[in-house]
Amino acid sequence: MIMKHEFLRVRFGTLPIEIKFGSAIKQRQIQTLKNFVYNNNLPLGIVINNSVGMLHI
């Protein structure tokens, strides 16, 4: 499994981005990103994968 974490500094603060290879992601696979968003009081984080749809978690 390929996993990459990136953090962008944007106008409203930090935008965490996680890139996953594959089209299905289990909740436990993005727990680190979810924790980072929660612990830093961020409005959102982005997960990019090979899926065709978009899902808000």
Per-residue model confidence (pLDDT) at position 48: 87
Domain ranges of the chain: 3-48
Per-residue model confidence (pLDDT) at position 21: 84
Give the count of beta carbons closer than 10 Å to the beta carbon of residue 18.
21
CA distance linking residue 40 with residue 38, whole number of Å? 6
Name the token pair of 9.
């500094």
Per-residue model confidence (pLDDT) at position 57: 62
C-beta of residue 55 within 8 angstroms of C-beta of residue 34: no
- H/E segment holding residue 47: strand 46-48
Per-residue model confidence (pLDDT) at position 1: 46
Per-residue pLDDT of the chain (57 residues; tens, 9 = 90+): 445 556 666 676 788 888 888 888 888 988 999 999 999 998 888 888 888 777 666
Per-residue model confidence (pLDDT) at position 20: 86
